[in-house]
Amino acid sequence: MSRITNKVVLITGGASGIGKIMGRKCMEEGASELVIWDINQKGLDEVALEFGNKGYKVHTYQVDVSDLESIQNAASKVATEVGTIDILFNNAGIVVGKHFEDHSYEDIEKTIRINVLGVMHIARAFVAGMIKKGAGHIINISSASAFTPNPRMSVYAGSKWAVLGWSESLRLEMEQINERQKTDLHVTTVMPGYIDTGMFDGASAPLLTPLLVPEEIASEIIKAVKSNEILVQEPFMVKLLPLLRGVLPARMYDFLAGNIFNVYNSMSKFTGRDEVSSTQKHSKNLGSATQEQEIPVIK
Q: Taking a C-beta distance cutoff of 8 angstroms, is the pair 18, 195 a contact? A: yes
Instruction: Tell me whether residue 1 is in a domain.
Output: no
Q: Give the separation between CA 117 and CA 111, rounded to whole angstroms.
A: 9
Q: What mean pLDDT do residues 290-299 have?
A: 36
What are the phi and psi torsion angles at 296 (to 5°)? -60, 150
Q: Is the sign of the CA dihedral 44, 136, 110, 275 positive or negative? A: negative
User: Going by DSSP bridges, is the β-strand pair 33-38/92-93 parallel, antiparallel, or unpaired?
Assistant: unpaired
Decide if 217 is inside a domain. yes
In a domain? residue 2:
no
Q: How far is CA 89 from CA 33, 49, 54, 160, in A?
A: 14, 21, 22, 15
Query: Strand order in 135-141's β-sheet?
Result: 58-62, 33-38, 8-12, 87-90, 135-141, 184-192, 231-234
Q: What is the pLDDT of residues 132-177, one digit of tens each?
A: 999 999 999 999 999 999 999 999 999 999 999 999 999 999 999 9
Whether 289 shows a pLDDT value over 70: the answer reads: no
| CA distance linking residue 17 with residue 276, whole number of Å | 13
How confident is the model over 225-279, as pLDDT tens digits? Answer: 999 999 999 988 899 899 999 999 999 989 998 999 888 888 776 666 544 333 3
Sequence-separated (6 or more) residues with CB below 8 Å from residue 281: none
Q: Of the residues 56, 61, 156, 194, which is catalytic?
A: 156
pLDDT at position 266, please?
Answer: 80
Q: Is 194 a catalytic residue?
A: no
Is residue 231 assigned to a domain?
Answer: yes
Q: What is the mean pLDDT of residues 188-212?
A: 76
> What's the rounded Cα separation, in Å, for the pair 194 and 67?
27
pLDDT tens profile 23-82: 999 999 999 999 999 999 999 999 999 999 999 999 999 999 999 999 999 999 999 999
Q: Would you say residue 298 lies in a domain?
A: no
Which distant-in-sequence residues (6+ apart) come within 8 Å of 282 by Cβ?
39, 40
Banded pLDDT at 200 (limits 50, 70, 90): low
Give the pLDDT confidence score for residue 184 in this predicted structure.
97
| Domain contains 280 | yes
- Any idea what DSSP says for residue 5? T
Q: Does the residue 275 lie in any domain?
A: yes
Of 289, 295, 292, 293, the residue nearest 70 (C-alpha): 289
- Domain of residue 114: give its range: 8-293
Structural domains counted in the chain: 1
Q: Is residue 86 part of a domain?
A: yes
The pLDDT value given to residue 160: 97
Cβ within 8 Å of residue 103, ≥6 positions away: 96, 154, 155
Tell me what pLDDT residue 30 has. Answer: 97
pLDDT, tens only, 70-128: 999 999 999 999 999 999 999 999 988 899 999 999 999 999 999 999 999 999 999 99
Phi/psi for 215 (5° steps) reads -60, -40
- Mutual angle of helices 105-112 and 154-181, in 10-degree steps: 20
Whether the pLDDT of residue 207 is over 80: the answer is no
Q: Which residue has the higher pLDDT, 175 or 205?
A: 175
- When pLDDT is cut at 50, 70 and 90, the band that residue 212 belongs to is confident
Judge contact between 39 and 286, C-beta under 8 A.
yes
CB 140 within 8 A of CB 119: yes
pLDDT exceeds cutoff 80 at 290 = no
Element of type H or E holding 85: none
Buried b (16+ CB within 10 A) or exposed e, 163-174: bbebbbebbeeb
pLDDT of 274 reads 47
**For the domain that residue 152 is a member of, what is the CATH number?**
3.40.50.720
